[in-house]
Amino acid sequence: MGGSGKSSLSIVQALAMATGKPVLGEEVTRPRNVLLINLEDNRAAMDKRIFAAMKHYSLKQADLGGRLIIKAKGEIKIKIAKADGRGVKRTEEQIKSHIDVALANKIDVVSIDPFVKTHGVNENDNNQIQAVVECYDDIAEGANCAVHLW
């Protein structure tokens, strides 16, 4: 449900993983390379939200070590799959592009917020949603990374 804090949590989790610091009280085994994609907030809003979270948790830019890559609304468009009347049509070029970006940047975790904006299928159709999730499974396997869908 919107307005419940998912985007804020996605930012703080990305900061925890990128810094390797247990800012949420959970152990982080080591710093990770994170690609944080937010399809609702523009760059200015994302920068403000990240700055506020870093200030709250006493994190410095140096703590990130270049391990956090951010893509905001307007910088990236994702439609990984869509319904086409006969089922679900995958967008293979986008799947390949995500794999290529993750491999090129040695990404450990791709975090995408919100999942609903990345596809064009009926969210009440379990088979269609499963087909979309399989696209992200292929990205995770192809890039040897985790994919976190919000």
Give the DSSP per-residue string, 73-141: BTTB----EEE-SSSEEE-HHHHHHHHHHHHHTT-SEEEEE-GGGGEES-TT-HHHHHHHHHHHHHHHH
The residues, any chain, with a CB within 8 Å of residue 44's CB and separated by 6 or more, are none
pLDDT at 85: 83
pTM: 0.93
Closest of 149, 150, 145, 148 to residue 32, by C-alpha: 145
For the stretch 3-47, pLDDT in tens is 667 899 999 999 999 999 999 999 999 999 999 999 999 999 999
Residues of the chain with pLDDT under 50: none
